[in-house]
Chains A and B, each alone.
Chain A
Amino acid sequence: MDTVKIAPGFEEIMPKEYQDLVNDGPYGRDLGVKDLGTFKELIEEHPLCAGCSLTLSFRLVIASLPTPEDTLIVTCAGCFGVIHPQISLHCTIAPFGTHNAFASGLKRALKVKFPNKNKDVISMAGDGGFSDIGLAPTLHSWFRRENFTSIMLDNECYANTGGQDSGMTPEGIALNMSPKGKQFPKIQFAEIAKQAGCAYVATVTPTKPRLLGKMARRAILIAREVGPTFIRVATACSTNYKLSAFEGYQKAKSFEPEIGEYFTEEAELYIKEIEKKSPKASSKGEEENED
């Protein structure tokens, strides 16, 4: 890839990680979740909590990009604000809650700048970022049918600020700003996404890595041509829910019954067509009974 290759004479000087990316990275290659461990990933080591399933979700999404060499990530404040500077893609932290407004401007400008080349924009934020502070720009980006993917990493609380309840926290849970237990039910965000105009809506857990990868690719491909897409990744915050790393994983696993997909008719026809032509396009080796 021209955009990553090392200028002549600098091969020895560039850090090992960079050389690995150039020689063995995912740019321009058809790789996915099933290939993890066989190539240099775009995400480096991170400083988040042990056993964090949100981090795992982030890693799985980044490993599933259809064209990482033309993918841009917009995030906002949150735990993964500490991860994203470590990934080898152009990415940014928008002011808290404004990620979908940033992504709207970015995607439209990229269409203007590259009329003959697709650039995928992915807006990733936490549950508070989408459902509370970022509700208006999220909904409006969907009302406007913006062509990018929104991925909510839902750990049911504000984690980075020290464990407060968000709109996505279940009713009754006592966290740092809900000392008597949260006073209203968890927001049904996937339902809202459908009503607001998303062409594809999915709920998945990081305990189904290949399925997560498949859904991420579907969401990204549909967003290119059909309309906005939304994935809620049901994860768990071990630290603020006072769980061990393994209990955190088990909690994420407990959300598996919520896994599901919704397509508009147009989105379903579109993705089926792509997957028929190239069975690997969306699946990237997705197999049944994986765990």
Chain B
Amino acid sequence: MTERKAVSPEYMILEAPREKRFLIGNEALAAAVKRANVDVVVVYPITPQSEVSHLCGDLWAAGFIKEYYRGEDELHVMVSMMGAAAAGVRTFTATSGPGTVRAMEPFTCWAGYRLPIVCGFMGRGIGTPANIQPDSIEIYYLLETGMIIFHVESPQDFFDMTLQAYAITEQPEIHLPVAVFSDGFFVTHGREVVTVTPEDEYLHPYDSRFSPVPAMDMETVPIKMARDCLVIKNNFISYNANASWQQEVRAAQYRARKHIDRFMGGPLEVINPDAEILIMASGTAAAQARVAMELAREAGLDVGMVKIKVIRPFPAQEIAQLAESARLVIVPEFNYVGWLAREIKAVVNNNAKVFSGPSVFAGMTLPPEVILAELQNLVKLSGVRR
């Protein structure tokens, strides 16, 4: 192992020099985990996540991760992550589609425990008919778990947003789990040039004394404290405590905004904000939207785009404002339900101008021409003129 230098997240994310690599998404994610100085990784294999778990195993074997094992299934992997993070160490895991829904109970517990776990999700189809193709449906199931949720567009995002996840959630007033979500295969197995921070620089170790709840390690006063005891006693004070605890989780999500602004340059990327028509998208749908926007502009339409990087805390105000001046908003997605369109409709005034689609799923691709065709069709129907 070469000599490594511990650096602050501010330096690593905002100032460190970058080197070019030619990486698939899973490799970019593992490169971020290596630099994040992770203590404990527990994983369970599933396509298309397995590769990043193999790479984490290699990092452990080489001494870059301190503890690593393959757990018995996703439910118990996610609970083991709870145990490890509760002890007050830095943790990482990842899963995909069916693994995500199998582990739903612990996902609903992580935020209540105030655990700064970072979890990679490699989205894929769930349920019957069985499907291993790319799909972003699982974000829909994760929306109200209290997690902070990022949706990556590319391997570059996977690298950056994973480091940003640690930087943001380990702030004393945040400490929430972070889902770094990618669309399976498109990102996990797509190869492109990724700029990464130097190999020999890694984050300072995690210090659990900055956690808003004491680590479970018997090093702090053993007050009669169980973070989850608040449901146990049936009285008014207990109900109040539980209720305010839930509100505090959401408040912590909200407080993450200032760190999202600092480390990520905000939750949105906006191109041509004053355009008559806005394409709003997240993940790889945003990559397709970029091309569709160019095609539409070439065809003479006044089109802009909004890439939504952060799904939770949802940037409601900004999206409402952007939609205010647009005459038409379309939301292409890689899932059947169109959850992003629902989220946007819920915050936009006069939301009849928000159209869900095109939505593709079950492994179909989303060619920019399909987005353009939908756009032209809607323009015809709604009477938006250039």
Binding site for B on A (CB under 8 A): 3-4, 18, 44, 69-72, 74, 81-82, 84-95, 98, 101-114, 119, 136-137, 140, 144
Q: Nearest chain B CB to A225's CB is how many angstroms away? A: 18
CB contact under 8 A between A69 and B218, given known A94-B82, A109-B84, A112-B89: yes
**What are 26 contact pairs spanning A and B, CB under 8 A?**
A3-B219, A3-B222, A72-B218, A85-B226, A89-B218, A89-B222, A90-B218, A92-B216, A92-B226, A93-B226, A95-B79, A98-B79, A101-B75, A102-B80, A104-B71, A105-B85, A106-B87, A108-B40, A108-B69, A109-B67, A109-B83, A112-B39, A112-B40, A112-B89, A113-B88, A136-B76
Q: Counting chain B CB atoms within 10 Å of each CB, which of A95, A101, A103, A112 scores highest?
A: A101
Please determine whether B40 and A110 come into contact, CB atoms closer than 8 angstroms. Answer: no
Residues of B within 8 A of A109 (CB): 39-40, 67, 83-89, 91
CB contact under 8 A between A106 and B83, given known A136-B73, A137-B76: yes
CB contact under 8 A between A105 and B218, given known A92-B226, A98-B106: no
Cβ-defined partner of A101 (8 Å) among B71, B222, B232: B71
Please determine whether B229 and A85 come into contact, CB atoms closer than 8 angstroms. Answer: yes
Q: Which 10 pairs of residues, A with B, have the shortest CB-CB distance?
A: A105-B83, A85-B229, A105-B80, A106-B83, A101-B76, A109-B87, A105-B84, A109-B84, A140-B72, A102-B83
Residues of A within 8 A of B222 (CB): 3-4, 88-90
Residues of A within 8 A of B39 (CB): 109, 112-113
Residues of B within 8 A of A101 (CB): 71-72, 75-77, 79-80, 83
For the complex, count residues of B whose C-beta is within 8 A of A.
45
Cβ-defined partner of B67 (8 Å) among A82, A102, A108: A108
CA distance A95 to B86 in the complex (A): 14
Q: Counting chain A CB atoms within 10 Å of each CB, which of B40, B42, B73, B226 scores highest?
A: B226
Please determine whether B220 and A136 come into contact, CB atoms closer than 8 angstroms. Answer: no
Please determine whether A95 and B224 come into contact, CB atoms closer than 8 angstroms. Answer: no
Please determine whether A105 and B224 come into contact, CB atoms closer than 8 angstroms. Answer: no
CB contact under 8 A between A104 and B218, given known A92-B228, A137-B72: no
CA distance A161 to B163 in the complex (A): 44
Cβ-defined partner of B232 (8 Å) among A82, A87, A88, A144: A82
CA distance A82 to B235 in the complex (A): 13
Residues of A within 8 A of B219 (CB): 3
CA distance A81 to B72 in the complex (A): 25
Please determine whether A92 and B224 come into contact, CB atoms closer than 8 angstroms. Answer: no
CA distance A42 to B86 in the complex (A): 21
CA distance A86 to B229 in the complex (A): 9
Assess whether B18 is interfacial by the CB under 8 Å rule.
no
Assess whether B193 is interfacial by the CB under 8 Å rule.
no
Please determine whether B79 and A94 come into contact, CB atoms closer than 8 angstroms. Answer: yes
Within 8 A of A (CB), among B132-181: none
Q: Nearest chain A CB to B27's CB is how many angstroms away? A: 25
Assess whether B3 is interfacial by the CB under 8 Å rule.
no
